[in-house]
Amino acid sequence: MSTFGTRLLENLDEENQAIHNLVKLIQDEQALLIDANIEEIKQIVEQKAQHVAKLAELSNKRHLILAMAGHQPDETGMQTWIQQNSAHAVNDAWQALLGQVKAAKELNHTNGLLINTHLSRNQNTLNVLRGSTKTGNFYGPDGKTSSVTKSRSIVAG
């Protein structure tokens, strides 16, 4: 394998380890979201940011290696390099990376849905506490239906 191939494989191995760690964090985040454990979620979010930064650094390094080898610094360049060099080990590592990236995106999307569910539930709870829920349709003096909003004042003191 060429020097570029060795460097690509080493970098892909690092990327695969980094994305594996990120997927694990996203899975942990999902469990915490299901349990509504907000305090620990804050720590996970910070760790995720660090892992994403590391992945960006490794991706940039891979792009640089591809550019130095005379290829486009993107997925197309990676595929072209693999085809031209019949690099099975690099291809296996690349396919593993793509699979893990897909899994991370799907898990992250699911976590986004869980977060939206929590936000919606919290907003509904706030609306109830503020007294801004609709109480129903009533007939007014003119015989027309009107929707009445019940509200309460909260006195703190």
The domains of the chain are located at 3-127
**Based on the number of CB atoms within 10 Å of its own CB, is 62 exposed (0-12), middle (13-18) or buried (19 or more)?**
buried
Structure confidence by residue, pLDDT tens digits, 79-130? 999 999 888 999 999 999 999 999 999 999 999 998 888 788 778 877 788 8
What's the confidence (pLDDT) of residue 157?
45
What is the CATH T-level fold of the domain 3-127, as seen in this structure?
A: Methane Monooxygenase Hydroxylase; Chain G, domain 1 (1.20.58)
Cβ neighbours of residue 69 under 8 Å, at least 6 residues apart? 4, 81
Categorize the per-residue pLDDT at 11 as very low, low, confident or very high, splitting at 50, 70 and 90: very high
Coil, helix or strand for 30? helix
